[in-house]
Structure 1
């Protein structure tokens, strides 16, 4: 591969990265199928589990992380498409909408990945499934909103102070 192509290849925040994360989340929640919003929420909680008193976060805390949720949705959709094209995720349409479920090939594929990061990711996905898997979507949104509200107040000066 020439140097110019190497420079343009980035797996971080790519369909591949989010596709593998989504696959791990679906394996942790199997046989439950998750809709796109639940996957976006769980993806955020897996990466930033320390924000909700879970295991240490996999990614470093950055100010104003709520912006991640806005861009995460599109990248996760691309990742789901990639994993579906490989037979690792199934899309399920019902009267309630579209949901995604790990296929029969998903767990053996995930089990074949042995890096420390993937193992830590799987641990956190299992923690999120246990902690939030049976939680109503509205309640999950309240949890996520609560720490966004906290950050917003931390990074804005109090009213009446400063410029």
Structure 2
């Protein structure tokens, strides 16, 4: 069940996903990212071992590839929450919306002291440093290869049937 603070859901909530997205945007400041790039980077940030990085922050569950499908709306809601607090700006472009950390994002994140958040900041910087120059196409190819590998690893081998 989700963690609550005085009745407020914190696990997989707009607060949690918004803070993770904000950490990514702060690591890439002043660059802007679209929602798809944030979604992919957020996934890689918590599952860094999947992309040959440092130890992952979240466990390597067999069905974690599905996170990309369900997290899009959560991250979008989190970004809107961060924007409503002046921590993220939203920019309309000819291809859609992009997001950028605002000047207050750094001091806000510096005020948070949980070890988990420190680890997220480290992983976010690693992801941004390693993958920000990759094209969208190449990132999707890389993630597709990872998903294909999981599919093979977690498929139950077919057993011969006895008649």
After TM superposition, what 4+ stretches of structure 1 lie above 2 angstroms from structure 2?
5-10, 160-163
3-state DSSP class of the match of 2:9? coil
Distance, in Å, in 1 between the alignment partners of 2:38 and 2:22 is: 10
Distance, in Å, in 2 between the alignment partners of 1:108 and 1:6 is: 23
3-state DSSP class of the match of 1:128? helix
- CA distances 1:78-110 after superposition (whole Å, capped 9, x unpaired): 100100000000001122321000011111111
Of residues 84-93 and 112-121 in structure 1, the stretch that sits farther from structure 2 once superposed is 112-121
Alignment root-mean-square deviation, CA: 1.6
- Return 5+ residue gaps in structure 1 as ranges: none
Residue matched to 1:48? 47
Distance, in Å, in 1 between the alignment partners of 2:78 and 2:84 is: 10
Aligned residues: 158
Distance, in Å, in 1 between the alignment partners of 2:79 and 2:136 is: 20
- Return 5+ residue gaps in structure 2 as ranges: none
Distance, in Å, in 2 between the alignment partners of 1:30 and 1:9 is: 30
Quote the offset at 1:7 in angstroms: 8.4
Distance 1:84 1:143, change over 3 A: same
Distance 1:63 1:7, change over 3 A: farther
- CA distances 1:103-149 after superposition (whole Å, capped 9, x unpaired): 11111111111111111000000000001011101111111111110
TM-score (norm 1): 0.91
Residue matched to 1:118? 117
Q: Does 1:149 align with 2:148?
A: yes
Residue matched to 2:19? 20
Distance, in Å, in 1 between the alignment partners of 2:107 and 2:7 is: 31
